[in-house]
Chain A
Amino acid sequence: MTPVIETGGLTKRYRRVTALSECTISVPQGRISALVGPNGAGKTTLLRLLAGLATPTAGRAAVLGGAPRQDPAFLAEIGFLAQEIPLYRRMTTEDHIGIGAHLNPRWDGESARARLGDLKIPLDRPVGTLSGGQRAQVALALTLAKRPQVLLLDEPVAALDPLARRHFLATLADAVAEGGLTVILSSHLVADIERTCDHLILLASSRVQLCGDVEDLLSEHRVLVGPRKDTTAIERDHTVVQADRTARQTTLLVRLNGPVITGPEWEAGDVTLEDLVLGYMGADADPATGELATVGGLR
């Protein structure tokens, strides 16, 4: 099956800044994919390129089989939610439902009203007077009412309290469970990602470091703990993503290139999603010492 979202060598440069470099990803149908990376890594740029809000400097992107383009039929299939949740602040939710009905070829206003009714969000108040969590839910309901096939969300839950976040993700996961929807959601909250996402795209330094189903990625990595000693054998056989060397022991996050064969002094453990994300995000080598920097350490 062709992936719903695919890019090849996608690059975006703004004058002297390279926001995204040689990005190649693939997201299969029905996934809720977490787009993870430090600030400035290119997450928003990638989402905007996929939505057709920006054009690439080089490379290609394909969503639902075609390049993102200015065409109502294509635009109707994509839902995009920007971080600021731009809505017409002085208009009510009901107004927005009306606007959606007029501007979209496919529109299920009733589903939006039903969802928001379940969440007890009033439809007749100006959107600007709702709380952040309520506005996010309104925006999500409006985007889902378009019945898109692809949903691109740029840090939609960053400013929400834990309860509002939980509700938002539950609504999102339920919409995916209904069928026909693929989601990319950028976030830095590992707990949320672990719970709701089954696919991961990790960007760091404007490049793709990881892209795949979470299950597969976790099984491809191990944490190796052992006494401080020469690790060249391991480094030769596998890819060391991150190394944490203390006086007594060495902890390595490795990507396996084959079966793990080490001496008995090395203990191999499973990797959690948090280990993986922090390991790759912190794995920029420090040019002065040659040591790999660590962020947050490993468990």
Chain B
Amino acid sequence: MTWVIWRQYRVTTAIAVAILAAFAVVLLITGLQDATRWHNALASCGKTNTCGTLAQTVSLGSGPVNTLVVLTLIVPILFGMFGGGPAVARERETGTMQYAWTQSVTRWHWLSAKAGWLLLAGAVFGGLVAGIVTWWSGPVNALNQGQFQPGSFDVQGIVPIGYAVFAVALGIAAGALIGRSLPALAVTGGVFLALRLIVTYWVREHFMPAVTTVYSVTQNLSLNGATWTLAQGTVLPSGQFTTNLSVGPGHVVSGPTGPQVPAACQAATSINATITCMARLGYHSFATYQPGYRFWPFQFIETGTFVALAAALIAVTFLVVRRRDA
């Protein structure tokens, strides 16, 4: 059965490897360039003691390459839609699944071989892409500390492996349950997208309870590492937390419908005087965030979740394929 799968996917594999190689070369070259620029910037800022503001002065990466990296977000979905979906659906449509089963292959064997190799391919491919992107992102992460942000989190580390495995499992399950290629493709794409959006914007931040720090309006909060800031704002004297007002050294920013500077402090002569006045009235700043050291635990939690979902989908697929008529 392995031989048969190889024969079926030979050309696709070759194309995928070629694309991966091209991608790797582009990122290798630009990555090395970025690394050099970064190290040079570090060296020179050390001499002039301007390392704290490097983020404003140095830019790494280039437009097209950055876009390419962001585009790796769609790698899992492509695998799922074009690798996983047709695996079962088209074979059902064209009858070749039935053909294989009449060639002395039991359904169990057929499905485990197919699913096994496709999932493995997804995991390996997803892992390689993620590995290349993570390596490439080294200098960018060091500079911007942005790897915990949605968008960067999703293309680095190990989550792309989880996504790819899930997408392939989803494609196979959709193919088995729906049986026709195009609808299965559409469902795979739609469900994958929806789930990823939901997890990224609503679920991920709750993997562990976020940390909320309340601090003086006269200071800046400095957090180490790649913090994922979820919310920032002001604690009113009443105890109410609001994100429509931001007070800090040198700035008071109020949202259109947000609370305004209290009357008592409006007469102050300078911004900093206003701020000191508000501090005395009991205003505080707050930030709710996930600290940078939780990056890897979150990566593991999210990857684990998607892999568990994939396993459930595969289990359902096996049940359906076994009991249903060919």
Contacts and interface: CB of A to CB of B under 8 A. Distances in A.
Interface string A70-114: 111001101110101011110100010011101111000000000
A91 B104 contact: no
Contact of B106 (A55, A72, A99, A102): A72
Given A48-B326, A51-B102, A70-B108, A103 B1 contact: yes
Chain A, interface size: which category? 20 to 34
A146 interface: yes
Contacts of A54: 325-326
Given A48-B326, A82-B98, A99 B7 contact: yes
B99 A87 contact: yes
Contact of B101 (A53, A84, A98): A53
A80 B325 contact: no
Interface string B1-28: 1011001100000000000000000000
Contacts of A88: 8, 96, 99
B107 interface: yes
Given A95-B7, A99-B4, A103-B4, A146 B96 contact: no
Given A84-B95, A89-B94, A48 B325 contact: yes
Contact of A75 (B4, B8, B96, B102): B102
Interface in B278-326: 322, 325-326
**What secondary structure prevails in chain B residues at the interface with A?**
helix
A84 B99 CA distance: 11
Contacts of A51: 102
Contacts of B106: 70-72, 75
Contact of A99 (B94, B103, B108): B103
Interface string A36-69: 0000000000001001011100000000000000
Interface in B162-186: none
A207 B275 CA distance: 92
A72 B99 contact: no
A184 to B, nearest CB: 14
Q: Which of B104, B105, B326 counts the most A-chain CB atoms under 10 A from its CB? A: B104
B103 A104 contact: yes
B271 interface: no
A78 B7 contact: no
A81 to B, nearest CB: 8
Contacts of A86: 94-96, 98-99
A70 B323 CA distance: 11
A3 to B, nearest CB: 22
B326 A146 contact: no
Contacts of B100: 103
A99 B8 CA distance: 10
A103 B326 contact: no
A54 B96 CA distance: 16
Nearest to A14: B325
Interface in A143-165: 143, 146
A102 B3 contact: yes
B101 A75 contact: yes
A54 B102 CA distance: 12
Given A54-B325, A91-B7, A70 B98 contact: no
Given A82-B95, A86-B99, A89-B94, A103 B105 contact: yes
B326 to A, nearest CB: 4
B67 to A, nearest CB: 34
Nearest to A45: B325
Contacts of B94: 86, 89
A84 B7 CA distance: 22
Most buried by B among A72, A86, A95: A86
Contacts of A87: 96, 99
A44 to B, nearest CB: 12
Given A53-B325, A54-B326, A89-B94, A146 B7 contact: no
A55 B325 contact: yes
A104 B105 CA distance: 8
Contact of B98 (A53, A55, A99, A146): A53
A78 B102 contact: yes
B91 to A, nearest CB: 9
Nearest to A54: B325
Contacts of B8: 88
Contacts of A100: 103
A202 B322 CA distance: 31
The interface centre, meaning the residue of B98, B102, B325, B326 with most chain A CB atoms within 10 A of its CB, is B102
A87 to B, nearest CB: 6
Given A53-B326, A72-B104, A78-B102, A98 B96 contact: no
B104 A103 contact: yes
Of the candidates A70, A89, A143, the one having the most CB atoms from chain B within 10 angstroms of its own CB is A70
Given A53-B101, A80-B98, 20 more contacts: A51-B102, A55-B325, A70-B108, A71-B106, A75-B101, A75-B102, A80-B102, A82-B99, A86-B99, A88-B8, A88-B96, A89-B94, A95-B7, A98-B3, A98-B7, A102-B4, A103-B1, A105-B104, A143-B102, A146-B104
10 contacts: A53-B325, A70-B108, A70-B322, A75-B104, A82-B98, A86-B96, A98-B7, A99-B4, A104-B104, A146-B103
Interface of A: 48, 51, 53-55, 70-72, 75-76, 78-80, 82, 84, 86-89, 91, 95, 98-100, 102-105, 143, 146
10 nearest A-B residue pairs (beta carbon): A86-B95, A53-B326, A54-B325, A103-B103, A75-B104, A76-B104, A80-B102, A86-B99, A70-B106, A104-B104
